[in-house]
Structure 1
Amino acid sequence: MKSLGSIRRSFEPWNDPNQRPYIAFENITKKFGDFVAVKDLTLHIFQREFFALLGGSGCGKSTLLRMLAGFENPTEGQILLDGENMSGVPPYKRPVNMMFQSYALFPHMSVEKNIAFGLKQDGMAKSEIDDRVNNMLKLVKLDQFGKRKPHQLSGGQRQRVALARSIAKRPKVLLLDEPLGALDKKLREETQFELMDLQQDLGLTFVVVTHDQEEAMTMADRIAVMDVGRIIQIGTPAEIYEAPKSEFVASFIGDINIFRGEVTAVKGGVVDIETPDGMVIRSETPHAHATGEKASFAIRPEKLRVSRTRPEGGINAASGEVWDIGYLGDMTVFHIKLKSGDVVKASLLNAVRTVEDPFSYDEEIWVSFAPDSGVVLSN
């Protein structure tokens, strides 16, 4: 199979039929009265995996996490952890720990005492607790802050304390519920990579719930995109981004342009789609299509080429005028109104500091793309 995107690491237990899932949600349904939060969901997560549950509010992702933690019980189905059925096992007896968005630190306790709290509850010897707390402080780079109270720390430092407390008991699985939501953008980006490195160093299984697509794409080995209590697609970040299986996933992850039309030709893994305004889209596709069926074609803004002259061949090209221009520093985003009236988005990398003849407002230009740069979606 052709590789999609950059290679993160050679870790793909989900593609090995001999690997047993470490966490298994089997036909899980969760109801709150008449409301169905999770619907007959099956999901397998593997040991040492950094897995993300991604979706909008009310999609069921936090409910799924809370059932794994033991704070909620499934209405139907079962949850297995390392082969053991978690049914009836209370939260404090499960080999998991949860880090909440609010951090839930004790304001009257020092950083050291916050980290040590769970260890004391378990009856660990004081010398062992001291060693473990010191190790945790070094791990999250807070060696000099052990005596401080939470209110004396920045938001990023409080986040690290909560993380240290969560992993101090060395759980088999760490659950993170919107862990970076309270941080500013720059600190959130830095912390994402720190979490990835920490997860690798500890060798733990991380399951994170987030509505932030960039956060999931950056940190996770695999992502489950959820909607109305169901999983719509599971895949690596590159698979989710480059090969979405539905218009919902394509639209939810990043920016996307959608062209709709009718299949006019199918030949050897290549399909022609004609839009209502006569534009012909030719695209490679691994899926079977029939002439005359409706089809949608999705392409990312960075995959579009923009030029002043008409591309050769006449396919995969449309003319329009520059409607809006957004300069973002690393790239410039163009909104281009096509002759059909549809507006598409194209993004061009600013690889040099100055452009001799930049595109301007209301200028007539052409957008085009290669046959393998987009994906034909299921309808």
Structure 2
Amino acid sequence: MKSLGSTRRSFTPWLDKETKPYISFQNVTKKFGDFVAVDNLTLNIYEREFYSLLGPSGCGKTTLLRMLAGFEEPTSGEIFLDGVSLKGVPPHKRPVNMMFQSYALFPHMSVRDNIGFGLKQAGIAKAQITERVDAILKLVKLEEFAKRKPDQLSGGQRQRVALARSVVLRPKLLLLDEPLGALDKKLREETQFELMDLQHELGLTFMIVTHDQEEAMTMSDRIAVMDKGTVIQTGTPAEIYEAPNSRYVADFIGTVNTLEGKVKEKAAGKVKIVGKDGFTIEAATTDQFALNTDDTAWFSIRPEKIKVSRSKPDKQTNAVEGEVWDIGYLGDMTLFNVMLDSGTIMRASVLNAKRTVDDPIGYEDRIWLSFEPDAGIVLER
């Protein structure tokens, strides 16, 4: 089987039927009055996995995290951690730690004392506290800041102190609720890789809640895309991006063009769709493709999979002409919003591999958009 994208590490316990889940939500429902925050959800997460819950505000992802931490109890269903039911177990007796977006550092304590506070409360011997705090300070690269107070640190440094305090207790599971939301874009990107390296080095299980698609795609082994209290799709970042199972997932992850049409021809491994916009789409399909002739289908294709040209392609399918409506220059790439004659806007992106362009495309130019049959995916819902 061909890979849908690069993999961060060869770690796929979910593909092994013999591997037991480390965290298991079994038919979990959580209601707040008449509002159903989590709706009969079943979900399995594996040991040492970096797992992301991704979805819009109000989809239930933070409620899942809070139930796992013990701050909320399920209305029905059960949650297991390492094979043990968490029903009735109070938060302080769970081998779980939670890191919040606010960091909640003690302003009057030094970095060292903030990190060691939980160990002191747990009654750990002083010599052992010193040893463990020294080790974690080195791991998060904060040795030279050990004596500083939180208000003497940058946002990124405070974030690392909060992370160090969370992992120094060596919990079985670390829960992160929008942990990078307060950082600027560049620092957030740097911290994402630091988090990944730390998780891998410590061998812990990380479960993160985020609404930032790029953040989830960068750090996760797997992502669960949520909506209205349910999981719509679970998969690796490449699977979620390249093979969404619905228009909702395709639209939520990154930028996508979704074209509606009717199935006109169907054969082994391919389908022909006549779009509402009048042009014919020839697409590759799998053996699981269930639509029949005259059924409505949606063809989803990412902007970077579309070729932009001034001249008409030789192919009769998968090519359409339009007028450049908007141009966005992002440095590494240029985005084109192209209006088709039907009024539909399609977006295409072109990598800026050279510093200069001999014949740059401008506003109101007529151009052609084309793509290969396997560049997009046909969706049934």
TM-score scaled by length of structure 2: 0.99
Other-structure match for 1:137: 137
- Letter of the 1:309 partner, please give it: S
Other-structure match for 2:54: 54
Other-structure match for 1:264: 264
- Letter of the 1:371 partner, please give it: P
Find the aligned partners of 1:111 and 1:3 in 2 and give their Cα distance. 44
Deviation at 1:86, TM superposition (A): 0.4
Contact kept in structure 1, 2:260 and 2:298, CA below 8 Å: yes
TM-score scaled by length of structure 1: 0.99
Other-structure match for 2:111: 111
Query: What are the equivalent positions in structure 2 for 1:1-379 lying under 5 Å apart?
Result: 1-286=1-286, 287-379=289-381
* Partner secondary structure for residue 115 of structure 2: helix
Deviation at 1:289, TM superposition (A): 1.9
Cα-to-partner distance string for 1:104-125 (whole Å, 9 max, x where unaligned):
1111111111111110111001
Find the aligned partners of 2:254 and 2:4 in 1 and give their Cα distance. 16
Contact kept in structure 2, 1:271 and 1:289, CA below 8 Å: no
Find the aligned partners of 2:100 and 2:327 in 1 and give their Cα distance. 40
* Partner secondary structure for residue 343 of structure 2: coil
- Letter of the 2:346 partner, please give it: V
Contact kept in structure 1, 2:259 and 2:276, CA below 8 Å: no
Contact kept in structure 1, 2:291 and 2:380, CA below 8 Å: no
Find the aligned partners of 2:380 and 2:121 in 1 and give their Cα distance. 52
Find the aligned partners of 2:6 and 2:371 in 1 and give their Cα distance. 21
Unaligned ranges ≥5, structure 2: none
Find the aligned partners of 1:339 and 1:370 in 2 and give their Cα distance. 21
For structure 1, which segment, 282-291 or 197-206, has the greater mean C-alpha deviation from structure 2 after superposition? 282-291
- Letter of the 1:76 partner, please give it: S
Deviation at 1:365, TM superposition (A): 0.8
Find the aligned partners of 1:25 and 1:356 in 2 and give their Cα distance. 57
* Partner secondary structure for residue 233 of structure 2: strand
Find the aligned partners of 2:5 and 2:325 in 1 and give their Cα distance. 31
- Letter of the 1:365 partner, please give it: I
Unaligned ranges ≥5, structure 1: none
* Partner secondary structure for residue 80 of structure 1: strand
Deviation at 1:309, TM superposition (A): 1.4
Contact kept in structure 2, 1:322 and 1:334, CA below 8 Å: yes
Contact kept in structure 2, 1:50 and 1:206, CA below 8 Å: yes
Find the aligned partners of 2:123 and 2:238 in 1 and give their Cα distance. 45
Cα-to-partner distance string for 1:124-172 (whole Å, 9 max, x where unaligned):
0111111111111111100011111111110000000000000010001
Find the aligned partners of 1:213 and 1:168 in 2 and give their Cα distance. 28
Contact kept in structure 1, 2:70 and 2:91, CA below 8 Å: yes
Find the aligned partners of 1:306 and 1:314 in 2 and give their Cα distance. 16
Q: Which aligned runs of 4 or more in structure 1 are off by greater than 6 angstroms?
A: none
Find the aligned partners of 2:314 and 2:224 in 1 and give their Cα distance. 40
Deviation at 1:360, TM superposition (A): 1.2
* Partner secondary structure for residue 261 of structure 1: strand
